[in-house]
Amino acid sequence: MKAIIFREFKSFFGSTIGYFVISVFLLLNGLFLWVIDGDYNILNSGYNDLTPFFKFSPWVLLLLIPAVTMRSFSDEKRLGTMELLVTKPLTLSSIVWGKFFGAMLLIAIAILPTVLYVFILNSYSLSGNTIDLGSTIGSFVGLFFLAAAYTGIGMFCSTRSENQIVCFLIAVLLCLLFYFGWDQLAQLTKMPWISRLGMQDHFESLSKGVIDTRDLIYFASMVYLWIATTVYSLKKQRK
C-alpha cells in the first residue's frame, strides 16, 4: 500500500494539481479571513476566535477535494493503466485505500499551515482574551475528519466516469448533500434529529471542543462506507 500512497502523492506534484490545491486553499482563507471585509473577517470581529475559518473552510474543501479525487480512477481508466494497476500484488481494497491516503496527505499539507493562525491571533490578543485552544483543537480534528469524508465520496465518484469533469460535479453535489442537505431537510420537515445524519452537525459538535466518540465514529463510518462502495464499484466494472 505504501507504494500506492507515494505514487499517488508524487502524481499530485508531478502535475499542477498539488500546488493548485494548496495555493487556492491558503489564498482563499487568507483573503477572506484577514483582508476582505465581510462576515468571515477575523480582525473585524474583534474576538480571538477562529470560528470564521472553520465556517469557511468546509465550503472551500467541498470544491477542492473533488478536484483532487476526480482523477483517482477516471484517469487510470482513460489512460488504460487501470488494468496494469490491478495486476500488482495488491488487493483492490489496498489500492483504493492507498489512493485515499495519498489524497489525504495532500489535504493535510494544505491544512497544516493554517495552524499558524492560532499563533497570529494570540500575538494580537484581540479583546484582551486568549484563544480557546480546546474548541480550536476540536475544530481542527473535525476539519480533518470532514476532509476525509469528502475524500471518500470523491474516490467513489472517480469510478463512475472516465470524464473528470463529470466525476468532479457528482462529487461536489454529493458532498453538498451530506454536509448541508440533511440540515436543510431537518428545517423543512421540522424534525431536528434528521440533521444528525449530516456531516455539518457532527463537525459543529467537534468544533465545540468536546471530542465525542459518536462524532468520530460517524466520520469513520462515512469514510469506510464510501471506500467500501468504491471497491464494490470497481469490482462490478471488472466483471
User: Could you give the C-alpha distances from 207 to 52, 64, 75, 84, in angstroms and in order?
Assistant: 12, 21, 36, 43
pLDDT at 216: 94
Handedness of CA 180, 18, 136, 43 (dihedral sign): negative
Which cell numbers in the block locate residue 16? Answer: 499542477
User: Could you give the C-alpha distances from 61 to 32, 109, 208, in angstroms and in order?
Assistant: 14, 13, 20
Which positions ≥6 away from 182 have C-beta within 8 Å? 194, 195, 196, 197, 198, 200, 201
| 8 compared with 45, residue with greater pLDDT | 8
**What value does the CA radius of gyration of the chain take, rounded to a whole number of Å?**
19
Which positions ≥6 away from 136 have C-beta within 8 Å? 50, 118, 209
Confidence of residue 126 (pLDDT cuts 50, 70, 90): low
pTM: 0.91
d(CA 228, CA 83): 20
d(CA 194, CA 187): 9
Place of cell 481508466: 77
Yes or no: say if 39 and 130 are a contact pair by the CB < 8 Å rule: no
Handedness of CA 89, 92, 94, 96 (dihedral sign): positive
pLDDT greater than 90 at residue 111: yes
On average, the pLDDT of the chain sits at: 87
* Closest by CA position to 148, among listed 86, 87, 215, 82: 215
pLDDT at 67: 92
Which positions ≥6 away from 213 have C-beta within 8 Å? none
Mean pLDDT of 71-99: 80
Q: What is the pLDDT of residues 31-74, one digit of tens each?
A: 998 888 888 888 776 667 888 899 999 999 999 999 999 988 88
How many Cβ atoms are within 10 Å of 17's Cβ, its own excluded? 17
